């Protein structure tokens, strides 16, 4: 005999039901036969048989109800294992709604949870026309959900159309809702949402036992949902922490590279300053010792001392200038300046020096150029450095050309000052180092003019702090030499 999963064999239930039916059929047949023969069973016998038949029937119904309860409990245990076997929120929510359909035979079902604002929102649904809907778009009675959330008690109706609690609701009438079952989802007495199931065709589909069954399932589902959401929150925090660690690692790596660059710059600074200071100091010592002895060349020695002192003074001033920039001690005093007039004056003041070195120095202004908002003292210093470099490094017989113009780049207007020479130009290997501190190119080193390698670095600091930029091109007068250009934004012009 086939055994069931409970205390009673399945075939016993079926056999007991069959015995009851057979007994009733045979009893009816005997009664008919005896009446035909004119014989009647004694009433006490008939009553006993009827009572026995009823006992068998009652017993069958008890066993049948027990078997249903047993299967439901087994189903709840299996479902609990399934929904608690995953910590993925989407998987858990989908399994919960699918289980509702299987467990109580609902036509449609959905699950609502409170969001971060405390508002109910549908997180998953089954058998609606569309997969993603807003709560107000669902064909359901909002009053039922409101009642369940407010009272924290399940609601079941066998026919919403005739139920006095809901029959007057427009949604119930409009969407022909009949069998409805709605139970709360609660964790530690806190309402987190509802489970809703309905059937628009069948009446009496859900019973009080279904309500109890779904309520028991809802308790399990609420815990599984809370575990999944806690797990998701932990994962989110872990991802955020990992991202923050990665960002911090990148920042630390960048800071480390910056510190290494600063350390290298410091070493280079010390080396370059030591080198630049050693030469004039050595010269001063030499000429100092020579001046201690009477000589006809004392006048020449004194001139040499003055030149070395001037050179030393220039190095110190350049260092102090850059140090002031680095410590943001240089105030930017913006005012309207006339670039045409500024460049014209600086060019005119150097005309005698250019002529003495057999150099052609010319200037071309920009007509109708509006004044530019910048620090006049600093822009004058920057342009002076560029002119000094051009005068120092352009061979005799060469040309120097200063020009003012305007230019538009990426929808930004610019006022530009160009200093162009016909010198030896810029080698491709040295182009990227021109504006680095203490860098002197081959032409500078071989020119015979003293220099610190700080001039172009100062120009870049000045122009940048005035909102502009400086660039160098390896093309000057007659396709020889180089052109250095200061760009100042037109947006600050008046």
| pLDDT for res 420 | 92
Torsion angle in degrees (nearest 10) through CA of 139, 143, 144, 148:
130
Contact 269, 438 (CB under 8 A): yes
The answer on pLDDT for 50 being more than 90 is no
Contact 128, 110 (CB under 8 A): yes
Q: How many residues does the chain have?
A: 494
Query: Which tokens belong to 278?
Result: 């050693």
Provide the pLDDT confidence category of residue 241 given band limits of 50, 70 and 90.
confident
Q: Vertex 42, ends 39 and 43: CA angle to 5°?
A: 125
Q: Which residue has the higher pLDDT, 123 or 371?
A: 371
pLDDT in tens, 417-449: 999 998 888 877 777 777 877 676 666 555 555
Provide the pLDDT confidence category of residue 116 given band limits of 50, 70 and 90.
confident
Residue given tokens 């081959």 in the structure block = 442
The CA–CA distances, whole Å, from 385 to 69, 152, 333, 403 equal: 98, 83, 20, 16
| pLDDT for res 19 | 66
Beta-carbon contacts of 355 under 8 Å, excluding residues fewer than 6 positions away, are 361
- How buried is residue 468: exposed, middle or buried, by Cβ count under 10 Å (0-12/13-18/19+)? buried
The answer on pLDDT for 278 being more than 50 is yes
| pLDDT for res 213 | 79
Beta-carbon contacts of 216 under 8 Å, excluding residues fewer than 6 positions away, are 76
Which of these, 453, 454, 394, 396, lies nearest to 425 by C-alpha position?
394
Average pLDDT over residues 286-314: 78
| pLDDT for res 361 | 93
Provide the pLDDT confidence category of residue 132 given band limits of 50, 70 and 90.
very low
Contact 154, 181 (CB under 8 A): yes
pLDDT in tens, 460-485: 989 998 999 999 888 766 567 889 99
The answer on pLDDT for 179 being more than 80 is yes
| pLDDT for res 7 | 45
The answer on pLDDT for 82 being more than 50 is yes
| pLDDT for res 485 | 94
| Euclidean distance between CA atoms 115 and 184, whole angstroms | 16
What string of H, E and C letters represents the secondary structure of the chain? CCCCCCCCCHHHHHHHHHHHHHHHHHHHHHHHHHHHHCCCCCHHHHHHHHHHHHHHHHHHHHHHHHHHHHHHHHHHHHHHHHHCCCCCHHHHHHHHHHHHHHHHCCCEEEEEEECCCCCEEEEEEECCCCCCCCHHHCCCCHHHHHHHHHHCCCEEECCCCCCCCCCCCHHHHHCCCCEEEEEEEEECCEEEEEEEEEECCCCCCCCHHHHHHHHHHHHHHHHHHHHHHHHHHHHHHHHHHHHHHHHHHHHHHHHHHHHHHHHHHHHHHHHHHHHHHHHHHHHHHHHHHHHCCCCCCHHHHHHHHHHHHHHHHHHHHHHHHHHHHHCCCCCCCCEEECHHHHHHHHHHHCHHHHHHCCCEEEEECCCCCCCEEECHHHHHHHHHHHHHHHHHHCCCCCEEEEEEEEEEECCEEEEEEEEEECCCCCCCCCHHHCCCCCCCCHHHHHCCCCCCCCHHHHHHHHHHHCCCEEEEECCCHHHCCCEEEEEEEHHHEC
Question: Up-side HSE of residue 428: CA atoms within 13 Å toward CB?
Answer: 0
Which of these, 207, 209, 194, 216, lies nearest to 140 by C-alpha position?
194
What is the rounded average pLDDT for all residues in the chain? 77
Q: What are phi and psi of 407, to 5 degrees?
A: -155, 145
pLDDT in tens, 142-175: 777 888 888 888 888 888 788 877 756 666 666 6
The answer on pLDDT for 279 being more than 50 is yes
Which among 57-61, 113-117, 370-374 has the top mean pLDDT? 370-374
| Euclidean distance between CA atoms 107 and 162, whole angstroms | 20
Average pLDDT over residues 174-182: 80
Average pLDDT over residues 65-94: 66
| pLDDT for res 388 | 87
The answer on pLDDT for 492 being more than 70 is no
Average pLDDT over residues 212-238: 80
Provide the sign of the torsion angle of the four alpha carbons 78, 79, 84, 90, taken in this order: positive
| Euclidean distance between CA atoms 37 and 134, whole angstroms | 75
| pLDDT for res 6 | 44
| pLDDT for res 300 | 81
């Amino acid at each position: 005999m086939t055994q069931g999963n409970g205390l009673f064999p399945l075939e016993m239930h079926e056999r007991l039901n069959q015995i009851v039916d057979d007994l009733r059929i045979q009893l009816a047949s005997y009664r008919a036969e005896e009446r035909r023969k004119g014989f009647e069973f004694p009433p006490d016998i008939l009553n006993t048989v009827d009572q026995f038949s009823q006992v068998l029937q009652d017993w069958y119904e008890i066993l049948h109800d027990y078997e249903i309860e047993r299967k439901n409990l087994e189903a709840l245990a299996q479902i609990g294992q399934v929904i608690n076997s995953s910590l993925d929120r989407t998987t858990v929510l989908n399994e919960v709604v699918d289980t509702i359909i299987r467990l109580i035979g609902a036509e449609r079902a959905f699950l609502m949870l409170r969001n971060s604002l405390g508002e109910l929102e549908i997180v998953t649904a089954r058998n609606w026309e569309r997969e993603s809907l807003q709560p107000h778009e669902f064909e359901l009675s909002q009053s039922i959900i409101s009642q369940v959330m407010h009272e924290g008690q399940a609601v079941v109706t066998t026919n919403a159309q005739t139920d006095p609690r809901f029959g007057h609701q427009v949604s119930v009438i409009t969407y022909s809702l009949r069998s409805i079952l709605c139970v709360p989802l609660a964790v530690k007495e806190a309402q987190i949402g509802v489970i809703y199931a309905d059937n628009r065709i069948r009446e009496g589909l859900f019973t009080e036992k279904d309500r109890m069954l779904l309520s028991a399932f809802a308790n399990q589902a609420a815990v599984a949902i809370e575990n999944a959401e806690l797990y998701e929150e932990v994962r989110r925090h872990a991802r955020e922490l990992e991202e923050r660690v990665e960002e911090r690692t990148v920042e630390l790596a960048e800071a480390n590279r910056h510190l290494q660059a600063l350390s290298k710059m410091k070493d280079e600074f010390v080396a370059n300053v030591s080198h630049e200071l050693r030469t004039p100091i050595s010269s001063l010592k030499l000429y100092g010792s020579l001046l201690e002895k009477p000589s006809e060349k004392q006048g020449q020695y004194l001139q040499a001392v003055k030149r070395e002192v001037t050179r030393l003074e220039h190095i110190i001033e350049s260092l102090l200038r850059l140090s002031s920039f680095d410590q943001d001690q240089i105030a930017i005093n913006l005012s309207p300046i006339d670039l045409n007039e500024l460049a014209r004056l600086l060019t005119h003041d150097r005309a005698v020096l250019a002529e003495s070195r057999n150099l052609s120095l010319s200037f071309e202004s920009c007509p109708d150029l509006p004044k530019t908002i910048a620090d006049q003292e600093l822009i004058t210093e920057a342009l002076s450095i560029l002119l000094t470099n051009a005068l120092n490094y352009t061979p005799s017989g060469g040309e120097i050309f200063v020009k003012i113009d305007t230019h538009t780049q990426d929808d930004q207007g610019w006022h530009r000052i160009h200093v162009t020479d016909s010198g030896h130009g810029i080698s491709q290997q040295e182009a990227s180092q021109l504006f680095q501190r203490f860098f002197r190119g081959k032409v500078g080193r071989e020119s015979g003019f003293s220099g610190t390698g700080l001039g172009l670095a100062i120009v870049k600091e000045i122009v940048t702090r005035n909102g502009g930029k400086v660039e160098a091109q390896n093309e000057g007068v007659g396709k020889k030499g180089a052109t250095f250009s200061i760009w100042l934004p037109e947006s600050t012009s008046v």
